[in-house]
Amino acid sequence: MIISIDFDNVIAYDNYPKIGELLPYAKDVIKYLYGRGHEIIINSCRNGEYEKQMRGFLKYHEIPYSWINRNSPRMIRKYGSDTRKISCDIQIDDRDFFLTNNMFIMGIQPVLNNLWPTIDQGMSYLERPLIICIIGESGAGKTMASEYFRYEYGVNMIESYTDRPKRESNEKGHKFISPTNMNKIWEREMLACTEWNGYRYCCLADDVERVCTYVIDEHGLKMLMDKYWDKFDIYSIRIHRDKSKRIESVGEDRVSRDEGKFSMKDSEFDYVIHNETDSKEDVFAAIREFVDKFRFLNRFEEYLPLIIDEDGED
């Protein structure tokens, strides 16, 4: 998620133009959120010398952030333009109506002293499920990549429903059902759906776990992004592989069906893997780099609130 955080009276007590002391637990919770792959935008009215002081304060206290007073590149890419208003999923600001109201009723100091413990607890409910979409032609290595996520990180793959017959008796990666049952599923809330070579494929919104991978085509990815961008954290990996190597893996017939089906530019994906060698380790290394780049390792675990009360309970 993209989390916009005000500075004065949120990270540090308000003493403008000077900087007050750090709010209790602000550093710990922000570091935790950043370490789970969330983008942190510091959104402040400070500029010039006062912004420089703020940057120094954040550096001194080792408070990580993604951006200051600028939009996430992912949101700019999504909307095709940038705006003066910071676009975010969650905004933490002392001018928020409910926070201001609580300050009026309870007093500023008690509310601010308990601000970050409250955010810490609330994030366990607000953190969205993470879907890592894997896109590529037949034989590119999509299934291999999803299996690595499962074995290395414990991240399961969403298995799509299809009315296509199995190619082999032990084929995995889909839930194979009859056309009649597919008609029933087609009427439920879908995560994404597509038709390929005369057969239907779909996944249900109910199939999404806390963290999961999803092998999907470009049409399904666009549908997922358009319909569920505000319900799930969606990241995409595009896998490329030389056509001749794909033919060696899955045969010329399956490869030929992909012709003209892939038109998205690499810049439209969050991460691109070039599977050009015969070494699985190269693909696995790229996946590890993806996980490190977006700081997802901690996200693969449950959200456990950092702050424990004096009785040792959450």
User: Cα Rg for the chain, rounded, in angstroms?
Assistant: 23
Contact between 14 and 98 (Cβ < 8 Å): no
pLDDT at 131 over 80: yes
Residues 285-289, mean pLDDT to the nearest whole number: 97
Provide the 10 A C-beta neighbour count for residue 37: 19
Q: Give me the domains of the chain, ranges plus CATH numbers.
A: 2-126 (3.40.50.1000), 130-158+208-300 (3.40.50.300)
Of how many residues is the chain composed?
314
What pLDDT does 231 receive? 93
Query: What would the pLDDT profile of 56-97 be if each residue is shown by its tens digit?
Result: 999 999 999 999 999 999 999 888 899 888 999 999 999 888
What pLDDT does 228 receive? 92
Q: Could you give the CA distance from residue 64 to residue 192 in angstroms, rounded to a whole number?
A: 35
Query: What would the pLDDT profile of 232-259 be if each residue is shown by its tens digit?
Result: 999 999 999 999 999 998 899 889 988 8
Indicate the SS3 state at residue 276. coil
DSSP H stretches of helix in the chain: 26-35, 48-60, 73-79, 97-106, 108-113, 115-126, 142-153, 179-185, 218-228, 243-250, 252-257, 280-293
Given pLDDT bands bounded at 50, 70 and 90, which one contains residue 26?
very high
Query: What would the pLDDT profile of 47-56 be if each residue is shown by its tens digit?
Result: 999 999 999 9
Q: Could you give the CA distance from residue 45 to residue 17 in angstroms, rounded to a whole number?
A: 11
Given pLDDT bands bounded at 50, 70 and 90, which one contains residue 310?
low
Question: Degrees (nearest 5) of the Cα angle 1, 273, 203?
Answer: 55
Amino acid present at 93: D
Token look-up 């597509």 returns 194
What pLDDT does 309 receive? 62
What pLDDT does 83 receive? 87
Q: Could you give the CA distance from residue 124 to residue 299 in angstroms, rounded to a whole number?
A: 12
pLDDT at 22 over 80: yes
Burial of 144 (0-12, 13-18, 19+ CB in 10 A): middle
Question: Degrees (nearest 5) of the Cα angle 84, 90, 93?
Answer: 75
What pLDDT does 167 receive? 85
Q: Could you give the CA distance from residue 104 to residue 106 in angstroms, rounded to a whole number?
A: 6
Amino acid present at 159: E
pLDDT at 5 over 90: yes
